[in-house]
């Protein structure tokens, strides 16, 4: 597929070679280790010996009930007991087990596969290890607020160290779905609403999980998911249908996947949803034509939990047999939990409904994957009980959890410089359902394997940094969605006895994540009534938001003089929040999602397109424009926004040229100065807009960001590069094109402000 331009000239490398964001200038195509370039003699030899049932077994993945997980978010489907599971391992009817942990039990199970099965093919051990294992780090959405790919890589590396020590080879992460509707619960699991940020963090997390050597004992296979467009489910409803154009699919929802593959990911997971009427798990266009054909992906595709069987409920497959046929033909190599492949593939091949070559190709990829991570030479890698004891919940892990938590917090408001608070001399009241709560610090998926004894609540974290811990009064006032007898009265009394109130309100852990879609993303009513009662005391309020998405703020919470977005920060949450509250850490987080004025604005995202009737700048301006009857379609707090305890000034923006030649580079520079009195970090952001194009373009698009760390009074120049490849978009016939014309470029502190200049991309030649 060649790229075209409006003037007929060549557009340079096509989408297979270029990424619009994270790897745009590296010319990276999807890569794979040598094991995937050509199957080894060992793999081909095994394949030649395998029966149809053994082949289907390598493509079948089941819940690990030999070392059963503490809990499971999915329905209990097709569960086998430990004895039955071990027998099927020995019979060669299972290729991988998931969501069981423990090095010794995994070692025993692997021994059953190596010594008990005919061909001695080792098992893969997988799990949903999303943002930490025993030690939990911030939810991915919170960590995205750091705008720091190095931090994301470090936390993923730490997660892999712990998880591989507990007998795992493979994680079902990172989730790289771009999510533009905050009603969707799984917003918490991704990097937010922006494509570029999603690309950068997807690549970082893959590098972190997998490390530098796939055969290393602490390397954990990454699985970017969910392929594809799961973040675009209609109305933010979990598992819902997706309707979008091919251009939006390719511009918004596919790039983070390609960034992950360019970073070395060897697996991906099909999505639950359909895309324009074709379920992703039976979508040949996605799984074969684009993924393998256009991109050259050589790795393994696994279904999500029973997603192949769910083709029947979609109304796309006639029955389970038909579902297995459709999934394997579309390009799903491994079936998770449904058991459809082991049950139906042998007969489907024997009857001619599925070609043997299709099954062989999938088995070859699975065996090559096991070879690539060293399992044939060392089947007991990552199955060392001694390592499990040594690499779990170490002081370094806890320190990283605390650091990443503090750097994920976003300061939304700080009137009259109420924050940071002094450690002594003030009597504080910590009020709200999350005040001393330890059950809602980890976030969605965080508690699956966590050591909950490590969880630090807000009260504990705050007291640890106060000169007099007794000067903190703690009252919940209410639960997340229900009252407590006498709770309001005790909370009001606590506020009256204090100088300043810390109000800990928001969502519970069970209100975010998979299957937690919300129609109304406001703080629950009982908490708002508590907030109003506290505000009536007249005491200054600092809001500590607990949330796994952007939420609608209203009333006294919205109007409080200080607001911190604290998300779900993991094991060290209480200490991380205290670090920011008392100024040990100067907040530097920026929002990866836009906070709407009202829930009814969703889906809402900063990089939408303008209309033929843009909203007037005057909120009281004329009607018959793109505006709501009661509010403008603006954000309360926009993407990229976040304050600091110091002040940063961005000045002196310069372009190296205002006429960018087709194959040249534009340098954009500016000066950033810390004009305040405290050391701090700032995230400087680069946005563009294509003024006139053959398809209407977003009002802004993030194309780069830099973190700068400056002492008071210090100044530094930031430099960005723009090339034609950064200006490309999907035009007619799904070609990636760049068009000559005028572009605006901003260097800014968020998606709605900044210094602006313009340049012209010149035609080729």
Catalytic residues: 304
Partner residues linked to 565 by β-bridges: 410, 545
Q: Are strands 635-637 and 648-655 parallel, antiparallel or unpaired?
A: unpaired
Whether 496 contacts 431, CB under 8 Å = no
Whether 367 contacts 124, CB under 8 Å = no
Residue 360 and residue 404: Cα distance in Å, rounded? 44
Residue 179 and residue 141: Cα distance in Å, rounded? 10
Residue 663 and residue 12: Cα distance in Å, rounded? 9
User: Which residue do the tokens 């040594």 mark?
Assistant: 390
617 burial type by CB count under 10 A (0-12 exposed, 13-18 middle, 19+ buried): exposed
Q: CA angle, 365 as apex, 363 and 366 as ends, to 5°? A: 65
Q: Are strands 96-98 and 541-546 parallel, antiparallel or unpaired?
A: unpaired
Which residue, among 272, 568, 556, has the nearest Cα to 444 in the 3D structure? 568
Cβ contacts of 378 within 8 Å, gap of 6 or more? 215
40 burial type by CB count under 10 A (0-12 exposed, 13-18 middle, 19+ buried): middle
**DSSP element (H, E) containing 302:** strand 300-302
Residue 377 and residue 397: Cα distance in Å, rounded? 30
Q: Given CA atoms 314, 316, 322, 324 in this order, what sign does their dihedral have?
A: negative
Residue 390 and residue 387: Cα distance in Å, rounded? 5
Structure-block tokens of residue 2: 């060649």
Which long-range contacts does 694-699 make (Cβ < 8 Å, 24+ apart)?
Answer: 694/6, 694/731, 694/732, 694/737, 694/739, 695/247, 695/729, 695/730, 695/731, 696/609, 696/610, 697/609, 697/729, 698/607, 698/608, 698/609, 699/606, 699/607, 699/608, 699/609, 699/610
Length of the chain (residues): 765
Residue 221 and residue 368: Cα distance in Å, rounded? 13
Cβ contacts of 190 within 8 Å, gap of 6 or more? 140, 141, 144, 174, 175, 176, 177, 178, 179, 198, 231
Strands lying side by side in the sheet with 541-546: 410-414, 562-565, 541-546, 500-506, 428-431, 472-475
């Amino acid at each position: 597929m060649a790229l075209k331009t409006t003037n007929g000239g060549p557009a340079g490398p096509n989408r297979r070679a270029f990424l619009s964001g994270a790897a745009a200038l590296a010319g990276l195509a999807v890569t794979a280790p040598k094991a995937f370039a050509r199957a080894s003699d060992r793999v081909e030899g095994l394949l030649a010996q395998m029966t149809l049932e053994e082949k289907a077994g390598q493509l079948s993945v089941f819940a690990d009930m030999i070392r059963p997980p503490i809990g499971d978010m999915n329905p209990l489907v097709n569960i086998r007991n430990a004895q039955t599971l071990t027998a099927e391992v020995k019979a060669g009817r299972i290729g991988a087990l998931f969501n069981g942990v423990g090095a010794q039990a995994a070692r025993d199970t692997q021994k059953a596969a190596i010594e008990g099965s005919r061909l001695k093919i080792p098992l893969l051990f997988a799990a949903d290890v999303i943002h930490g294992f025993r030690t939990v780090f911030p939810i991915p959405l919170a960590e995205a607020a750091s705008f720091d790919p190095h931090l994301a890589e470090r936390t993923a590396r730490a997660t892999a160290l712990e998880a591989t020590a507990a007998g795992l080879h493979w994680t079902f992460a990172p989730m790289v779905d771009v999510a533009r509707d905050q009603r969707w619960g799984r917003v918490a699991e991704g990097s937010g609403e922006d494509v570029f940020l999603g690309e950068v963090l997807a690549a970082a997390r893959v590098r972190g999980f997998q490390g530098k050597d796939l055969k290393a004992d602490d390397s954990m296979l990454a699985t970017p998911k969910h392929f594809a467009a799961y973040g675009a489910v209609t109305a933010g409803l979990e598992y819902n249908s997706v309707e979008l154009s091919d251009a939006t699919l390719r511009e918004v929802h596919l790039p983070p996947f390609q960034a992950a593959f360019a970073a070395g990911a060897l697996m991906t997971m099909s999505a639950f949803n359909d895309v324009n009427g074709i379920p992703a798990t039976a979508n040949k266009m996605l799984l074969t034509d684009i993924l393998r054909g256009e991109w050259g992906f050589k790795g393994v595709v696994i279904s999500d939990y029973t997603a192949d069987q769910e083709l029947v409920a979609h109304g796309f497959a006639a029955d389970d047999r038909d579902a297995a046929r459709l999934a394997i033909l579309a390009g799903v190599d491994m079936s998770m939990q449904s058991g459809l492949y082991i049950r139906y593939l042998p007969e489907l091949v024997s009857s001619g409904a599925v070609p043997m070559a299709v099954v062989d190709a999938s088995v070859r990829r699975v065996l090559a994957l096991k070879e690539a991570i060293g399992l044939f030479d060392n089947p007991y890698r990552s199955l060392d009980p001694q390592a499990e004891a040594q690499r779990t919940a170490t002081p370094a892990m806890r320190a990283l959890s605390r650091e990443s938590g503090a750097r994920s917090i976003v300061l939304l408001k700080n009137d009259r410089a109420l924050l940071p608070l002094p450690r002594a001399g003030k009597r504080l009241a910590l009020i709200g359902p999350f005040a001393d709560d330890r059950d809602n610090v980890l976030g969605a998926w965080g508690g699956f394997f966590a050591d909950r004894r490590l969880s630090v609540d807000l009260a504990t974290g705050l007291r640890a940094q106060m000169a007099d811990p007794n000067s903190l009064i703690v009252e919940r006032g209410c639960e997340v969605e229900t009252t407590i007898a006498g709770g309001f009265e005790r909370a009001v009394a606590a506020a009256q006895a204090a100088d300043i109130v810390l109000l800990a309100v928001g969502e519970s852990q069970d209100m975010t994540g998979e299957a937690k879609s919300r129609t109304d993303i406001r703080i629950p009513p009982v908490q708002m009534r508590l907030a109003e009662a506290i505000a009536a005391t007249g005491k200054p309020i600092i809001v500590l938001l607990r949330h796994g998405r952007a939420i609608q703020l209203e009333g006294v919470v919205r109007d409080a003089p200080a607001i911190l977005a604290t998300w779900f920060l993991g094991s060290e949450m209480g200490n991380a929040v205290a670090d920011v509250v008392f100024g040990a850490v100067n907040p530097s987080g920026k929002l990866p999602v836009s906070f709407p004025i009202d829930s009814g604005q969703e889906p809402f995202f900063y990089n939408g397109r303008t209309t033929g009737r843009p909203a007037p700048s005057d909120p009281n301006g004329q009607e018959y424009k793109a505006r709501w009857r009661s509010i403008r379609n603006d954000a309360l707090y926009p993407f990229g926004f976040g304050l600091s305890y110091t002040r940063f000034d961005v000045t002196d923006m310069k372009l190296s040229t205002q006429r960018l030649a087709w194959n040249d580079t534009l340098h954009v520079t500016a000066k950033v100065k810390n004009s305040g009195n405290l050391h701090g970090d700032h995230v400087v952001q680069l946005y563009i807009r294509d003024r006139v194009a053959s398809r209407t373009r977003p009002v802004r698009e993030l194309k780069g960001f830099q973190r700068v760390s400056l002492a008071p009074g210090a100044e530094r120049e930031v430099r960005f590069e723009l090339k034609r490849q950064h200006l490309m978009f999907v035009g007619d016939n799904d070609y990636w094109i760049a068009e000559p014309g005028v572009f605006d470029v901003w260097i800014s502190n968020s998606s709605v402000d900044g210094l602006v200049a313009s340049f012209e991309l010149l035609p080729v030649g």
